Protein backbone atom coordinates (compact mmCIF):
# COMPACT_ATOMS: atom_id res chain seq x y z
CA UNK A 1 0.00 0.00 0.00
CA UNK A 2 1.30 3.43 -0.92
CA UNK A 3 2.07 5.93 1.78
CA UNK A 4 0.67 9.46 1.81
CA UNK A 5 3.81 10.98 0.32
CA UNK A 6 3.76 8.62 -2.68
CA UNK A 7 0.07 9.41 -3.19
CA UNK A 8 0.79 13.16 -2.93
CA UNK A 9 3.51 12.90 -5.58
CA UNK A 10 1.18 10.90 -7.81
CA UNK A 11 -1.51 13.57 -7.43
CA UNK A 12 1.05 16.25 -8.28
CA UNK A 13 2.06 14.38 -11.45
CA UNK A 14 -1.60 13.85 -12.40
CA UNK A 15 -2.36 17.54 -11.92
CA UNK A 16 0.60 18.40 -14.13
CA UNK A 17 -0.51 15.93 -16.81
CA UNK A 18 -4.04 17.38 -16.81
CA UNK A 19 -2.67 20.91 -17.18
CA UNK A 20 -0.45 19.81 -20.08
CA UNK A 21 -3.42 18.08 -21.71
CA UNK A 22 -5.47 21.23 -21.23
CA UNK A 23 -2.80 23.41 -22.87
CA UNK A 24 -2.34 21.00 -25.78
CA UNK A 25 -6.05 20.84 -26.53
CA UNK A 26 -6.58 24.55 -25.92
CA UNK A 27 -3.95 25.29 -28.56
CA UNK A 28 -6.04 23.54 -31.24
CA UNK A 29 -9.48 24.66 -30.05
CA UNK A 30 -11.24 27.35 -32.07
CA UNK A 31 -10.97 29.96 -29.32
CA UNK A 32 -9.05 32.99 -30.49
CA UNK A 33 -10.20 35.27 -27.70
CA UNK A 34 -12.08 35.36 -24.43
CA UNK A 35 -15.12 36.44 -26.47
CA UNK A 36 -15.06 33.12 -28.34
CA UNK A 37 -14.90 31.36 -25.00
CA UNK A 38 -17.85 33.41 -23.73
CA UNK A 39 -19.93 32.47 -26.78
CA UNK A 40 -19.18 28.80 -26.19
CA UNK A 41 -20.14 29.13 -22.53
CA UNK A 42 -23.49 30.78 -23.31
CA UNK A 43 -24.85 28.34 -25.86
CA UNK A 44 -24.81 24.65 -24.86
CA UNK A 45 -26.87 23.86 -27.99
CA UNK A 46 -23.82 24.66 -30.13
CA UNK A 47 -22.26 21.36 -29.14
CA UNK A 48 -18.65 21.55 -30.36
CA UNK A 49 -17.65 24.90 -28.81
CA UNK A 50 -19.58 24.15 -25.59
CA UNK A 51 -17.88 20.77 -25.35
CA UNK A 52 -14.50 22.46 -25.76
CA UNK A 53 -15.38 25.03 -23.10
CA UNK A 54 -16.50 22.25 -20.76
CA UNK A 55 -13.27 20.35 -21.39
CA UNK A 56 -11.19 23.40 -20.42
CA UNK A 57 -13.13 23.92 -17.20
CA UNK A 58 -13.17 20.22 -16.32
CA UNK A 59 -9.42 19.69 -16.77
CA UNK A 60 -8.64 22.83 -14.81
CA UNK A 61 -11.03 21.73 -12.08
CA UNK A 62 -9.48 18.26 -11.83
CA UNK A 63 -5.94 19.61 -11.68
CA UNK A 64 -6.85 22.03 -8.88
CA UNK A 65 -8.65 19.23 -7.05
CA UNK A 66 -5.46 17.14 -7.10
CA UNK A 67 -3.49 19.93 -5.43
CA UNK A 68 -6.33 20.42 -2.91
CA UNK A 69 -6.18 16.72 -2.01
CA UNK A 70 -2.46 17.02 -1.30
CA UNK A 71 -3.27 19.75 1.21
CA UNK A 72 -6.08 17.70 2.72
CA UNK A 73 -3.68 14.76 3.16
CA UNK A 74 -1.44 17.02 5.23
CA UNK A 75 1.48 16.81 2.80
CA UNK A 76 2.52 20.40 3.47
CA UNK A 77 6.18 19.70 2.72
CA UNK A 78 5.21 18.83 -0.87
CA UNK A 79 3.14 22.01 -1.13
CA UNK A 80 5.99 24.05 0.38
CA UNK A 81 8.34 22.86 -2.36
CA UNK A 82 5.70 23.68 -4.99
CA UNK A 83 5.07 27.08 -3.39
CA UNK A 84 8.75 27.96 -3.83
CA UNK A 85 8.30 27.77 -7.62
CA UNK A 86 4.85 29.34 -7.99
CA UNK A 87 4.38 32.97 -8.94
CA UNK A 88 1.78 33.70 -6.28
CA UNK A 89 0.36 31.20 -3.81
CA UNK A 90 -0.60 27.58 -4.20
CA UNK A 91 -3.67 28.37 -2.08
CA UNK A 92 -4.91 30.63 -4.92
CA UNK A 93 -4.73 27.68 -7.30
CA UNK A 94 -6.55 25.48 -4.78
CA UNK A 95 -9.25 28.16 -4.34
CA UNK A 96 -9.84 28.03 -8.09
CA UNK A 97 -11.30 24.53 -7.62
CA UNK A 98 -14.09 25.81 -5.37
CA UNK A 99 -14.75 28.72 -7.71
CA UNK A 100 -15.00 26.49 -10.78
CA UNK A 101 -17.09 23.88 -9.02
CA UNK A 102 -19.66 26.31 -7.63
CA UNK A 103 -19.95 28.89 -10.42
CA UNK A 104 -19.73 26.80 -13.59
CA UNK A 105 -22.24 28.85 -15.57
CA UNK A 106 -21.04 32.12 -14.09
CA UNK A 107 -17.33 31.71 -14.76
CA UNK A 108 -15.66 34.95 -15.76
CA UNK A 109 -14.30 34.03 -19.19
CA UNK A 110 -11.71 36.82 -19.16
CA UNK A 111 -10.34 35.36 -15.93
CA UNK A 112 -10.48 31.83 -17.38
CA UNK A 113 -8.69 33.02 -20.54
CA UNK A 114 -5.91 34.54 -18.44
CA UNK A 115 -5.66 31.46 -16.26
CA UNK A 116 -5.29 29.10 -19.21
CA UNK A 117 -2.84 31.33 -21.10
CA UNK A 118 -0.71 32.58 -18.20
CA UNK A 119 -1.22 30.59 -15.00
CA UNK A 120 -1.42 27.09 -16.45
CA UNK A 121 2.00 27.22 -18.17
CA UNK A 122 3.49 28.70 -14.99
CA UNK A 123 1.94 25.91 -12.88
CA UNK A 124 3.23 23.21 -15.22
CA UNK A 125 6.75 24.62 -14.92
CA UNK A 126 6.40 25.00 -11.14
CA UNK A 127 5.19 21.41 -10.75
CA UNK A 128 8.04 20.14 -12.94
CA UNK A 129 10.57 22.00 -10.79
CA UNK A 130 8.92 20.84 -7.57
CA UNK A 131 8.91 17.21 -8.70
CA UNK A 132 12.57 17.51 -9.65
CA UNK A 133 13.44 19.02 -6.25
CA UNK A 134 11.46 16.36 -4.41
CA UNK A 135 13.14 13.58 -6.41
CA UNK A 136 16.60 15.02 -5.71
CA UNK A 137 15.78 15.24 -2.01
CA UNK A 138 14.57 11.63 -1.98
CA UNK A 139 17.63 10.43 -3.90
CA UNK A 140 20.14 12.33 -1.75
CA UNK A 141 22.04 10.11 0.63
CA UNK A 142 21.22 10.59 4.25
CA UNK A 143 23.68 12.94 5.86
CA UNK A 144 25.85 11.08 8.23
CA UNK A 145 27.46 13.06 10.92
CA UNK A 146 29.88 11.48 13.26
CA UNK A 147 29.60 12.31 16.86
CA UNK A 148 32.90 12.78 18.60
CA UNK A 149 32.95 11.45 22.10
CA UNK A 150 35.50 12.77 24.47
Residue 78 CA to its chain's centroid (Å): 14
- Least reliable range by pLDDT among 21-25, 46-50, 108-112, 142-146: 142-146
| Residues in CB range of 132: below 8 A, 6 or more apart | none
Residue 105: domain span:
4-139
Write the pLDDT tens digit of every residue in 102-148. 765 678 888 888 889 999 999 999 999 999 999 888 887 764 445 44
Do the domain assignments include residue 83? yes
- Least reliable range by pLDDT among 39-48, 53-62, 116-125: 39-48
User: What pLDDT is stored for residue 142 in this prediction?
Assistant: 61
Do the domain assignments include residue 90? yes
Please give the DSSP secondary-structure letter assigned to residue 67. H
Total tally of structural domains belonging to the chain:
1
When pLDDT is averaged across residues 42-65 and rounded to a whole number, the result is 87
- Least reliable range by pLDDT among 44-53, 77-86, 102-111, 136-145: 136-145
Do the domain assignments include residue 122? yes
Dihedral Cα 97, 102, 107, 112, nearest 10 deg: 0
Measured between alpha carbons, how far is 112 from 61 in angstroms, rounded to an integer?
Answer: 11
Amino acid sequence: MRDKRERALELLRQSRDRLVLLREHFAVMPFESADDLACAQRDPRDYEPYRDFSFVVHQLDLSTEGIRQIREMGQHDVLDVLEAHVDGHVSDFIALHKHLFHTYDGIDVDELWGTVNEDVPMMVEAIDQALSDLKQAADAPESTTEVCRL
